[in-house]
Structure 1
Amino acid sequence: MRKRLFAVALLALTFPPAAFARGTFNPADEFTLNKWVPIHIGPLDLSITKAVVYLWIGAALTILLGIVLMRSRLALPPSRRQTIGEALYEVAQTQVAEQGLPSKAIGRWFPYVASLMLFIWVVNMLGFIPLPLSGQTYHGVPVWGIYAATSSINVTLALALLTFVFTHYEGVRWNGPVRYFKSWIPEVPRVLVGPIAVLE
């Protein structure tokens, strides 16, 4: 039995699938976002693509995960669900919120940071699961494939812009506009304030 298995494995390695493939394969095609539902509002292209669908699935799974894990009744001997929920909460608090937020801002911004952490984790894990969303078919059957939605610059840029806006909003709200923007410029001689302000 082992000899047969070895012979089949050797035969499979001798004739790789690429030798029998028709056409050419370009890995860059995996990142092409074809428009499934074109939506154009003026100059904005809001078309539904593979990345958008993956984000919708990721958002739905994140909401479902949050409801299932965080909306359980607390018990003294904790259930598995409660234990997983508490572990996620602790990771979000100690590894993300306390490391990146001032102590006074944790109460206000922890829900955003924890939701963002959970969403990014779910979307990245979703990228490992083959789904029939590749946009390709083989004899009329959808081809199953994997796709990391966070590999799209649109996704990472949107998340970064949200955090950028919230960070500056909180800085202006807490310090006032003059004091906040003044804090960008380090203490340097007055001659260097202009160039440093541009660099900062």
Structure 2
Amino acid sequence: MVTETEGNGLSIHPMDQFVVRPLFSDGPIQWYTVTNVTLWLALAVLCVVALMVFGTRRRAMIPSRSQSVAELAYGMIRNMVEEVTGPEGVKYFPYIMSLFLFILFANLLGLLPFSFTTTSHVAVTVTLALIVFFSVTIIGFVRKGPGFLKMFWVDSAPLAVRPVLAVIELISYFVRPVSHSIRLAGNLMAGHAVIKVFAGFASLALLSPVAVGAVTVIYGLETLVAVVQAYVFTILTCVYLRDAVADNHH
């Protein structure tokens, strides 16, 4: 939001675009209230369904554009899962593929005019990160039992420092959801705030050409960031999953 002040200046509010608002009322937001976050999360899910279901239902030797995109994403993520987690991790490919596409579309939809970037909110990214964290932990204990805890014990280190390293490994393990979620939300929020600031200067005749050019460049960069951050979140998920399905690497 950009407003003019009494001194003919500008008051730019780049964080207003991240405010959660109810869609059908003006009252307080409850857990069941349909908000702009709900809307754009649902649209991200619909985009995933449209691409993977409707885009590939008529598979042809000469693929359509939607089929080509779906096949490209499928091949890229499957190769990533197999290379990072090994053969044992391929069985979890459908979940990782769904996670990648959901974050990708949520990021890209946030670049549309008057849209809402759901992945700029820590509440959304923390939920995704916690699902990954608990899933990996449960899979690890189901597959290895108490042997899953061996990942915290560094056998290659001197015996005297192993307990210290174990504490450090344990802390880093529980910090994973924090770094996993903040990285995604922080990058999306920062980029959109910068776009909003430069867009605010576009209303000034003197700075308008420079501001429009800056917004165009940053918008292109943010499109790249949207794709890269979806990829980074997904590959980190694969790295964490490897600890649960592969042999202990210490």
AA partner of residue 65 (structure 1) = L
User: In structure 1, what is the Cα distance between the partners aligned to 2:44 and 2:123?
Assistant: 15
Deviation at residue 99 of structure 1 after TM alignment: 4.3
Aligned CA-pair RMSD: 2.8
Aligned with residue 82 of structure 2, among 98, 121, 129: 98
1:171 positional shift:
1.5
- Corresponding residue for residue 212 of structure 2: none
Residue in structure 1 matched with residue 116 of structure 2 by the alignment: 147
Cα 1:64/1:81, change in 2 over 3 Å: closer
Normalization by structure 2: what TM-score?
0.56
Tell which deviates more after alignment, 75-84 or 62-71: 75-84
Kindly provide the CA deviation profile for residues 17-72 of structure 1, in whole angstroms up to 9, marking residues without a partner as x: 865889843212222223556565xxxx5544322221111112212222112333
Residues 63, 76 of structure 1: alpha-carbon distance in 2 compared, 3 angstrom cutoff: closer
Determine the structure 2 residue equivalent to 1:89. Answer: 74
Residues 82 and 27 (structure 1), Cα distance of their counterparts in 2 relative to 1, 3 Å cut: closer
Partner of 2:152: 184
Q: Which blocks of at least 5 consecutive residues in structure 2 are unaligned?
A: 170-250
Using the size of structure 1 for normalisation, the TM-score is 0.68
Contact 1:172–1:180 (Cα < 8 Å) also in 2: yes
- Structure with the larger RCO, 1 or 2 (CA within 8 Å, 6+ apart): 2
Which one of 12, 16, 19 corresponds to residue 25 of structure 1?
12
**1:111 CA displacement:** 0.2
Equivalent AA in structure 2 for residue 29 of structure 1: D
The 3-state SS of whatever aligns with 2:12 is coil
Give, in whole Å, the separation in 2 of the partners of 1:35 and 1:58.
18
Q: How big is each residue's C-alpha offset from its partner over 1:179-199, in whole Å with a ceiling of 9 and x where there is no partner?
A: 111222111444434333322
Number of aligned positions between the proteins: 162
Cα distance in 2, alignment partners of residues 47 and 79 from structure 1? 39
Instruction: State the partner residue of 2:206.
Output: none
Secondary structure of the structure 2 residue equivalent to 1:163? helix
Are residue 64 (structure 1) and residue 33 (structure 2) matched?
Answer: no
Cα pair 2:81 2:93 within 8 Å, conserved: yes
Say which SS state the counterpart of residue 30 (structure 1) adopts. Answer: helix
**Same amino acid, percent of matched pairs:** 27
Structure 1: 5+ residue stretches without partners: 1-16, 131-144
Q: Which has the larger radius of gyration?
A: 1
Matches within 5 A, 1:40-189: 40=30, 45=31, 47-72=33-58, 74-94=59-79, 96-106=80-90, 108-130=91-113, 145-176=114-145, 178-187=146-155, 188-189=157-158
- Tell me the amino acid that sits aligned with residue 101 of structure 1: T
> Partners in 1 of 2:49 and 2:162 — Cα distance?
47
Are the counterparts in 1 of residues 81 and 89 from structure 2 also a CA contact under 8 Å? Answer: no
CA contact (8 A) 2:51 2:70 kept: no
Contact 1:185 1:193 in 2 (8 A): yes
Distance (Å, rounded) in 1 between the aligned partners of 2:21 and 2:66:
39
